[in-house]
Amino acid sequence: MLSDIKVTGGEISQEEIQAYIDYLEEKNGRKLSSLSIETDGEYVNLNYKLSAVPFERIRRITGYLVGTMDRWNDAKVSEEADRVKHSTASSEMEKVC
């Protein structure tokens, strides 16, 4: 269960709180990091924050999409070290002008 839950405006049962959590997590496909429930009679306002999505940078190196090169064998590491790194067009134009 979430540790950061705030309920204002009235009392809500634990079953109802858990139902809101389940609904929001299913709707968004991610876990919640916090939830604020404001009650106003029969209406409920839900303010929530989702947990962070892990992000890994992916680059194209020697024709392969990779995140890291830590699992490459020696031949592939050597190929990456020997590749020609191209300059940008703007830096080439500066040399000409």
pLDDT over threshold 90, residue 86: no
Considering only 9-13, 21-25, 76-80, which range has the smallest mean pLDDT? 76-80
pLDDT digits (tens, 9 = 90+) for 61-80: 767 778 777 888 888 888 88
Greater model confidence, 38 or 61? 38
User: For residue 97, is it within any domain?
Assistant: no
Domain count of the fold of the chain: 2
Q: How far apart are CA 43 and CA 40, in angstroms?
A: 5
Co-location of 61 and 34 in the same domain: no
Domain that holds residue 60: 54-83
Judgement on whether residues 66 and 42 belong to the same structural domain of the protein: no
What pTM, to 2 d.p., does this model score?
0.57
Domain membership of residue 88 (yes or no) is no
Q: CA Rg, the chain, in Å?
A: 26
Of 85, 21, 33, give the one whose Cα is nearest residue 59.
85
pLDDT at 20: 93
Residue found under tokens 């031949």: 75
